[in-house]
Structure 1
Amino acid sequence: MTNPNGISSMRIWLTILFSVLLISGGFAQNNNSPYSIHAIGDLTDNIINRTSGLASTGLAYRNNRNLITNNPASLSELDNQFFIGELGVNSKYVDYSGNAVSQTNHQSSDITFKRFALGTKIFKHWGSAVGLVPYSEENYEYSGIQPIGYGGGQVPSYNQGYGGISKVFWANGYEFFHHLSIGITTSYLFGSINNNNIILGQGSSIYLSKTNNTSYTNLYVDYGLQYYGSISKHWDFTIGATYANQQALSTETNITVLNLDSNVLRSKTTVGTYNIPTSYGLGFSITKDKKYTLLADYKFQNWSSLGGSTGGVFYENSQRASVGVEVSNKKIVYNTLYETSFYQAGFYYNKSYLIVNGTPIIDMGGSLGLGVNSKRSPLSFIFVLQYGIRGTTTNNLLRENYAVASFIFSFRDFWYTKGRKYE
């Protein structure tokens, strides 16, 4: 039987979806991130979903209501017969400090779309989800002085970069023997990054411009595993692990050089590959009375195996450690344990894969989350506040103090009912 309340809620959810997409599309990519100039930009480490308030600590997190894609093995925990849709959006404010920062360029803010996902339980032990998320983002803009020729001359220049790589994914988790779940995520990465270098003449007129546009495409596969059980009547645990082998993205780079009159001085197209190194992840969680959960994650990516450097920037292995705690409020509704709300807190320490001017780039911070589930509506909401510090002002570098507000909207309703009527 058709549920009129479900149809009404679906309309509301679709309205939210299109409204957020319009808003985020209009304000996307306004935040400058100086460190995104390197490699393929800033990698998206903070996952926008139920684990956001836990500082994205979720390799050993299992949940029956939400699409947890930190580890695809967790999808086997989804409730049967339910369809779930989730939408995530960020509002970010950044304050910059350092020698190159002035009173007119020390702040930026934006609103960006971060996640869209759909999922369901296909069979009793098999959960699946598809979605779209950013994989990396590049956005920088600065003016400076650069050398020209071999005579020691210098000229003013303007530099700008924008773009990024997006990820369309299909994640699956299958449960074996009631205590073991394995998962696989098959993704298609695609996108382009544009870097513009403009040499200025007298009166800030353009003397010479160089545009470097690189597109990236390919499949990407990663794997997950979770083992879970009970320690006693009051305590449950989960151990999670993820792995992805080194994989190569296909690249096509177009370089165009224009003179003062916009005549093409040089145009060149090259094809190649960009390697994404092997990554590992390990997580642990413990829950008391299905109410209090403590989680911890550690992630490692072998960037040093790629070797090489660009402009004094070197690659090193990236590492991310995070912890989170959640309090879930539940009550009995129609003889079923139902979650009404939850509170979260988390902390993270992220050592980037970049060494700039001999200095490792560190990103650390904390998050607070609040989630509310409606008993009479399939809509639920999660609100997360995050504060962090990235980089340093030593060795002529920049520090970013940032605050992020994340909004996650979720729609959850019956996928099929086999003729049964639900009130």
Structure 2
Amino acid sequence: MVALACFGGVQAQNTSSPYSIYGIGEIQTSGYNRTTGMGSTGIAYRSDNNIIQNNPAAYTALITQMFHIEGGGRGDYSSYSSAQFANAASGYTHQVSNDFTVTRIAFATKINKWWGASMGLMPYSKMDYDFTGTESLGPQGEVANVTFTGSGGIHKAYFGNGFSLGKHFSVGVNTSFLFGAMQSNKTEVASTANANLVETRNLYMRNVVFDFGAQYYTHFGREKKWGLTLGATWTPQQPLYAEDSLSVTQNGAVLPNGNALLDRNVFQLPQGYGGGFALSKETAMKRITFLGDFSRQLWTPLGYSGTGYALGNSDRYSAGMEISKKTNILNTPVEHVYYQLGGYYQKTYVSVDGYPVLEWGASVGLGINPLRYPQWGYHLALEYGTTSNYEQGALKENFVRLTVTIHYWDRWFTRGRRVL
């Protein structure tokens, strides 16, 4: 990939993730589930009525003989600022973009008392950028206008299983098929040469990968009102099979030998690990929970780098809290509404000109389970944050994201018996 710093007069056009020009795109760290309103803090989070894929060991918390369906989408609004924008022909010092995508669909059930399972589809990484600038063509000093665009990403189709080992411990594994295509285009226009040169690079990636998790949970204190969960996750280093091809056209015509298969190779995904805790206090009609997570991906040993950039270890810290309130339905306490607050700080896996790209964000969440239609649930999460490598004059993204999740649950395999 070509680094943003290697051409002048950079101007963002319509893009939702400018730093996705590097590596395999912007790796998605959002849970796109109930944990999103808490900064996606969920390695130790357990829910009996929501699908939490942050740690596959959490599937054992689901209610027996219930099936769950969740789907959601996210709207993004981003503002980009850079000292280089002031030199753009438009004269603006910032650009904006907006986007909406369907992010996740998932299914889950508790097969028996010790086995919970889930399957779903969600994004793994995303490439979406559009930049224009200038580039020197050679010793004659001729300058060409250059546009870089990219789209696509890697999708994650997973099948997860969690198993209870006794009353206080569970383990789990997500088996995922990663697949997707990313297209990068470089359009070069030189007025003196009267030529429009377009280079299109297509990268196809796929493979089956695994991630593992464990949780320990217990209650303590007077009347066992306090709860503590400790969680851990681990992902081994695993390959992604890649096919890289290039097409070159000039003024719309394919150049001789302009279509080529560059390579069939293996891109390594790094080893990663994480840990977290969840501390809660519960009364008959309310529960308050405090959570914290840390996770790391070990990209540095893989040695990936390019013009002006390198891939290195990524770290993510997050914390959140949730207040859940219940109401009585037929003399049974049932969760009706919950409020969330969270935040995170992340050193991403990309460094530009020796400066790591950093991201931080804060979030609030609201969940409602309507009393009139108790089988439905709605979750809203609003995030605000910033992404930049904070080099002088570097591109800075300020974003606002709204995630909407709809949940439906019902009974099955009851053989006429009601479990609630």
Which residue in 1 is equivalent to 2:6? none
What displacement does 1:31 show? Answer: 3.7
TM-score, normalised via structure 1 length: 0.89
1:42-121 matches, cutoff 5 A: 42-101=26-85, 103=92, 106-121=95-110
Q: Distance in 2 between matches of 1:299 and 1:337?
A: 35
Offset of residue 50 of structure 1 = 0.7
Cα shift at 1:151: 5.8
2:269 alignment partner in structure 1: 276
CA distance in 2, matches of 1:341, 1:307: 47
Q: Runs of 5+ in structure 1 lacking a partner?
A: 1-28
- The answer on whether the counterparts of 1:32 and 1:141 sit within 8 Å (CA) in structure 2 is no
| Corresponding residue of 1:365 | 361
User: 1:202 and 1:86 mapped to 2: Cα distance?
Assistant: 53
CA distance in 1, matches of 2:194, 2:62: 59
Quote how far apart the aligned CAs of 1:395 are.
Answer: 2.9
> 2-side partners of 1:58 and 1:144: how far apart?
41
Match of 1:307 in 2: 303
| Gapped regions of structure 2 (runs ≥ 5) | 1-12, 86-90
Query: Is contact 1:97-1:393 (8 Å) kept?
Result: no
Counterpart of 2:215 in structure 1 is: 226
Distance 1:192 1:205 in 2: 32
Deviations 1:53-84 (A, max 9, x none): 11100000000000000000000000011110
**Is the Cα contact below 8 Å between 2:16 and 2:99 reproduced in 1?**
no
Moved over 4 A (4+): 149-153, 203-206
User: What is aligned with 2:147?
Assistant: 158
Residue 150 (structure 1) shift: 6.1
Does residue 263 of structure 1 match 2:254?
yes
User: Which aligned pairs between 1:209-220 and structure 2 lie closer than 5 A?
Assistant: 209-220=198-209
After superposition, the C-alpha distances for 1:303-362 in whole angstroms (9 at most, x for unaligned) are 101114211101221000000000010234334331111000001001111111221111
Q: Specify which structure has the higher proportion of helix.
A: 1
Letter in 1 for 2:268: N
Partners of 1:76 and 1:363 lie apart in 2 by 32
Contact 1:162–1:194 (8 Å) recurs in 2:
yes
> Residues 369 and 382 of structure 1 are in contact (CA less than 8 Å); yes or no, is this contact kept in structure 2?
yes
How far did residue 152 of structure 1 move?
Answer: 5.6
Aligned to 2:115: 126
**Equivalent of 1:236, from 219, 224, 227?**
227
Q: State, as a whole percentage, how many aligned pairs show the same letter.
A: 36
Is the 1:98–1:393 contact (alpha carbons within 8 Å) kept by the matching residues of 2? no
Partner of 2:157: 168
Displacement of 1:128 after TM fit? 0.6
- Cα 1:261–1:318 change in 2 (3 A) is closer
Root mean square deviation, CA, Å: 2.0
Q: Is the 8 A contact 2:355 2:390 kept in 1?
A: no
2:84 is paired with a residue of what secondary structure? coil
1:228 counterpart letter in structure 2: Y
Q: Contact (CA 8 Å) 1:359, 1:395: kept in 2 or not? A: no
Cα pair distance change 1:252/1:181, threshold 3 Å:
same
- Flag the 1:105–1:98 CA change in 2: closer, same or farther, 3 A: closer
TM-superposed CA distance for 1:260, in Å, is 2.1
Residues 204, 419 of structure 1: alpha-carbon distance in 2 compared, 3 angstrom cutoff? farther
Alignment pair present for 1:142 and 2:134: no
Aligned residue pair count: 395
Alignment of 1:315-394 (within 5 A): 315-377=311-373, 378-392=375-389, 394=391
